Chains A and B, each alone.
Chain A
Amino acid sequence: MVDLSVRIGSLTMRNPVTTGSGTFGFGSEVADLIDLNKIGAVCVKATTTHPRTGNPAPRIVETAGGMLNAIGLQNGGIENYLSEKLPYLRGFDCPIIVNVPGEDPEDFAYVVERLTEAKGADAIELNISCPNVSHGLDYATDPKATAEVVARCRRATTLPLLAKLSPNVTDIRPIAQAAEDAGADGLSLINTVIGTAIDARTRRFKLANVTGGLSGPSIKPIALLHVHRAASAVKIPIIGMGGIMSATDAIEFLLAGATAVAAGTANFINPGVALEIAAGIESYLRANDFTDVSQIIGAVR
Chain B
Amino acid sequence: MIRRTIAPTLSNTPLDAPNHFVMTFHAPELAREALPGQFIAVAAGGGMQILRRPFSVYSVDPEAGWASILYSVYGPATSTMAKMKPGDELDFIGPLGGRVFEADPDPSCHHIMVGGGYGVPPLAFLCRNIRAANPNARITVISGGRTKNLLVGTDGLEEIGVTLEPCTNDGSCGYHGLVTGRLEEVLAEDQTAHQPSYVYTCGPTPMMKAVGDLSIEKGVPCQVSMEVFMPCGVGICMGCAVARHDGTYARGCTDGPVFPAREVKW
Give the B-binding residues of A (Cβ under 8 A). 22-25, 29-30, 32-33, 45, 53-62, 64-67, 69, 71, 74, 216-217, 245, 265, 267-272
Contacts and interface: CB of A to CB of B under 8 A. Distances in A.
A216 B50 CA distance: 9
Interface stretch (B120-128, B176-184, B229-237): B229-237
Contacts of A56: 241, 243
Contact of A268 (B1, B3, B237): B237
Contacts of B52: 268-269
Given A23-B237, A69-B237, A71-B239, A64 B1 contact: no
B51 to A, nearest CB: 6
27 contacts: A23-B236, A23-B237, A25-B236, A29-B236, A30-B236, A33-B2, A53-B247, A54-B249, A56-B241, A57-B242, A57-B249, A59-B239, A60-B229, A61-B229, A62-B50, A62-B231, A64-B48, A64-B49, A66-B50, A69-B237, A71-B238, A71-B239, A267-B236, A268-B52, A268-B232, A268-B237, A271-B232
> Which of B4, B236, B242, B243 gathers the greatest number of chain A CB atoms within 10 Å?
B236
Interface of B: 1-4, 43, 48-52, 93, 228-229, 231-232, 234-243, 247-249, 254
Contact of B4 (A24, A55, A58, A272): A272
Contacts of B242: 57
Given A54-B249, A57-B241, A268-B51, A33 B4 contact: yes
A32 B236 contact: no
A290 B4 CA distance: 32
A29 B4 contact: no
B236 A67 contact: no
A30 B50 contact: no
B48 A24 contact: no
Contacts of B231: 60, 62, 67, 268
Contacts of B248: 53
Contacts of A272: 4
A32 B94 CA distance: 10
A170 to B, nearest CB: 28
A199 to B, nearest CB: 13
Going nearest first, the 4 A-B pairs with the smallest beta carbon separation are: A60-B239, A25-B236, A268-B232, A29-B235
B261 to A, nearest CB: 18
